[in-house]
Amino acid sequence: MRRTSLQANDARGVPSHAGADSILDRLCINTIRTLAMDAVQKANSGHPGTPMALAPAAYTLWQRVLRFDCDDPHWPNRDRFVLSNGHASMLLYALLHLAGVADVTDGRARPAVTLDDIKRFRQLGSRCPGHPEFHRTPGVETTTGPLGQGCGNSVGMAIGGRWLAGQFNRPDVTLFDYDVYAFCSDGDLMEGVASEAASLAGHLRLSNLCWIYDNNHITIDGRTEITFTEDVAARFRGYRWHVVHVTDANDTASIAGALGAFRRTNDRPTLIIIDSHIAYGAPHKQDTSAAHGEPLGEEEVRLAKRSYGWPEDAMFLVPDGVYEHFRRGIGERGRALHREWDVRYETFQRRYPALAERYRSFRSGTSRQDGTAPSPRLPPTRRASPPGPHRARS
Ligand SMILES: Cc1ncc(C[n+]2csc(CCOP(=O)(O)OP(=O)(O)O)c2C)c(N)n1
Ligand SMILES: [Mg+2]
């Protein structure tokens, strides 16, 4: 693997007063962007523009907020991340790789996505198919690509979280309080399935659900003004959602603030609308539908890298410090949260042995076979526990 030290002030968009963490943040964000550009260019097909635009939001969510143990992507109380705009799959693969998410499916830990997997983006049998596929890539929570589908699934996951909390949480032990985050695009919000699911989420007051809408005014065919001019914020307020607006997709402090607002909202789902620029940094393709579903082209890739302060000819570059920064962020936070949950689970087993037995058989699937599955109950509408110290730094 080629390793290069980039100077801190190479990273575009870092204010001169920024501390080491902000500089590393920008380096990580630009690594996500350039991996996406390079993978699409090498495959000669795919969707480069949206990962480039959403890298700051995805990075902020994963690095600062998501309760996810990279060593154990099956931890039952993990926050769920759904990329409903599945065409932006390289965003997810880059995160899975850089965060060091493990594949533990056959009992031995190995990386879920290696740099070589990313180099095989969109190839037959690759762990990085064109759109994310459940079961093919550890860390992919659900298959997406058909627009709207991930939005619908995310509502199901949020209902599932509420149902689990209703079944197994006790006043003195909270087993389930996970949140569900879904990224979605203009195309997602055009789809009926997303609208119907959003309406239900508002009705059920799923405060454990957050959609992050990529408001880039671009779709596959051109600008959204051709077909999609509705007031999305007003529509979601009508569904009884909490709506937050971030006007600059590169403003990670505002993104963290919006995620913090979601965490503090106890009675409604949250929609975070982020105004973004597809193919951010690509001088000729930014804000055009040409950046949606085709490679940028070698020269445009070079120019975009130049705009990030990146070595123009470096391919699949992960600069020094990037893996370590992820490890110190989501890596350490997720591991600590999981350990803290393990203690709760031990308390749960000690204090509620019969319920713990029911949970184990439920999780292994046997309770469904012997007909002892707990009967569905409407989920509670409030959070099981108040926001804790791991919430977003806003
Ligand atoms: C249900 C469905 N219809 C059509 C498509 C084909 N398709 C892929 S992306 C896209 C729209 C792209 O626009 P947007 O959702 O705004 O994504 P962006 O380019 O902004 O990332 C369409 C129509 C699809 N994936 N799913
Ligand atoms: Mg769009």
Distances 51 to 84, 95, 244, 265, 283 between C-alpha atoms, Å: 13, 11, 21, 28, 16
Q: Could you give the number of structural domains in the chain?
A: 1
**Mean pLDDT for the stretch of residues 92-119:** 95
* C-alpha 59 – ligand 1 centre gap (Å): 22
CA distance 82 to 94: 15
Nearest CA to ligand 1 atom 25: 146
pLDDT the model gives residue 381: 52
* C-alpha 14 – ligand 1 centre gap (Å): 32
Strand order in the sheet with 242-246: 80-83, 180-184, 209-215, 270-275, 242-246
- With 50 as the cut, is the pLDDT of residue 293 above it? yes
pLDDT grade, residue 133 (50/70/90)?
Answer: very high
pTM, two decimal places: 0.91
**Mean pLDDT for the stretch of residues 80-102:** 98
Distances 31 to 112, 120, 377 between C-alpha atoms, Å: 18, 17, 45
24-35 per-position pLDDT tens digit: 999 999 999 999
Whole-number mean pLDDT of the chain? 91
Q: Is residue 389 part of a domain?
A: no
Q: What is the DSSP string of 313-342?
A: T--S---TTHHHHHIIIIIHHHHHHHHHHH
- 277 CB under 6 A from ligand 1? no
| Least confident segment among 95-104, 128-137, 190-199, 373-382 | 373-382
- 144 CB under 6 A from ligand 1? no
Q: Is residue 183 part of a domain?
A: yes
Which residue in 2, 34, 55, 63 sits closest to 328, CA to CA?
Answer: 63
**Which atom from ligand 1 is nearest to the alpha carbon of 187?**
15
Q: Is residue 376 part of a domain?
A: no
**Mean pLDDT for the stretch of residues 349-372:** 84
| Least confident segment among 17-21, 46-50, 218-222, 383-387 | 383-387
CA distance 360 to 352: 12
- How many residues make up the chain in this entry? 394
- Provide the 10 A C-beta neighbour count for residue 225: 8
**Mean pLDDT for the stretch of residues 17-22:** 64
Q: Is residue 321 part of a domain?
A: yes
CA distance 230 to 150: 21
Q: Is residue 1 part of a domain?
A: no
Protein residues with C-beta less than 5 angstroms from the ion ligand 2: 185-186, 216, 218
- With 60 as the cut, is the pLDDT of residue 377 above it? no
pLDDT grade, residue 106 (50/70/90)?
Answer: confident
pLDDT the model gives residue 390: 38
- 209 CB under 6 A from ligand 1? no
- 51 CB under 6 A from ligand 1? no
Distances 105 to 33, 46, 73 between C-alpha atoms, Å: 29, 28, 10
Instruction: Show the domain range for 92.
Output: 8-364
Q: Which residues pair with 209 in a beta bridge?
A: 180
230-289 per-position pLDDT tens digit: 999 999 999 999 999 999 999 999 999 999 999 999 999 999 999 999 999 999 999 999
| Least confident segment among 4-18, 59-73, 155-169, 195-209 | 4-18
- List Cβ neighbours of 357 (8 Å cut-off, separation of 6 or more): none
- 216 CB under 6 A from ligand 1? yes
pLDDT grade, residue 366 (50/70/90)?
Answer: confident
Q: Is residue 88 part of a domain?
A: yes
**Mean pLDDT for the stretch of residues 88-117:** 95
Q: Ligand 1 pocket test: pick from 87, 211, 218 the residue with the most ligand atoms within 8 Å of its Cβ.
A: 87
- Provide the 10 A C-beta neighbour count for residue 1: 8
CA distance 249 to 300: 21
pLDDT the model gives residue 107: 82
CATH code, domain with 308: 3.40.50.970
Q: Is residue 3 part of a domain?
A: no
Q: Is residue 374 part of a domain?
A: no
